Chains A and B, each alone.
Chain A
Amino acid sequence: MNCDEFAELVTAFLDDALDSSSRPLFLDHLACCSACAGLYGGFTATITALGELPAPGLSPQTRSRLMTAFQKLRDEV
């Protein structure tokens, strides 16, 4: 496995979606190529950072509009 092939397979590896022949080749390459080990670390750090992004919620106005709509619908039934 060369470096380009390795780079294309990082997400498949992380999803445990590599077939039984590619997986050991991927792991061998990861163990002996420091550039690709760095790339791999970059991917996992990216995924961690994405999971830590703050997520704003609904505005209080929209939330209360929806609660009112829900109550109205129930009262109609």
Chain B
Amino acid sequence: MSEGVVRVGEVTDFPPDPVIVAGLRSGDEEVFALLLDEWSRGMLRLARSYVSTAASAEEVVQDTWLAVIRAVGTFEGRSSLRTWVYRILVNTARRRGERESRTIPVSSVGGERPDGARPEGGPEGAALAGEVRALIEKVVGTLPSRQRAVITLRDMEGYGSDEVCEILSISPANQRVLLHRARAAVRDHLAAYYDGIGGP
């Protein structure tokens, strides 16, 4: 991605970290609401890389925010606030994912796709877009969690590689390998799909 292109997940007029942190510490509800609404979507997606259901991901995000409001007094600014919050999220989600893998039968994992429903009727283009979207979500849902986490942050949320490496505690080279494998998997499925329907 070239620099200067604003992608999904980036907000240019978002207040700087010191303003946000001061707001959280002083109990400013508007600041907390702004953060909740700005970051929770991405956090839910990332949590979904590690846990098996959307409900479980929602609990991970809730627990993360509770940890954040309790611990924001100790935030030292050695990373950005967003990276700090996402690192708490990743730790919370990983712990929960490990617990789930010990208690949930493998056969029940990954079957849930309420958001992948195929649209009925409507213009052909919209139906096609819906099918493609459902296919991409399905493929992303089958990726190994490390690949899924990287492609979620990089391509779905639009975060830069440095921040993703910091959030996931991985090297730039490793991050690139995981991202490339994940993209290749999605691309392969899309290519097979378009071959099947004779386009685009």
Contact = CB atoms under 8 A, between A and B. Distances in A.
The judgment on whether A and B are partners is yes
Interface of A: 7-8, 10-12, 14-15, 17, 39, 42-43, 45-47, 49-59, 62-63, 65-67, 69-71, 73-75, 77
A53 B136 contact: yes
Given A17-B176, A73-B69, A67 B32 contact: yes
Interface of B: 1, 7-8, 26-27, 29, 32-33, 36-37, 40-42, 44-45, 54, 58, 61-62, 65-66, 69-70, 115, 132-133, 136-137, 140, 151, 155-156, 158, 161, 172, 176, 179-180, 183-184, 186-187, 190-191
* Chain B interface, DSSP helix/strand/loop, else mixed: helix
Given A62-B62, A73-B27, A50 B186 contact: yes
A51 B176 contact: no
Contact of A15 (B29, B156, B176): B176
Given A45-B190, A46-B186, A55 B29 contact: no
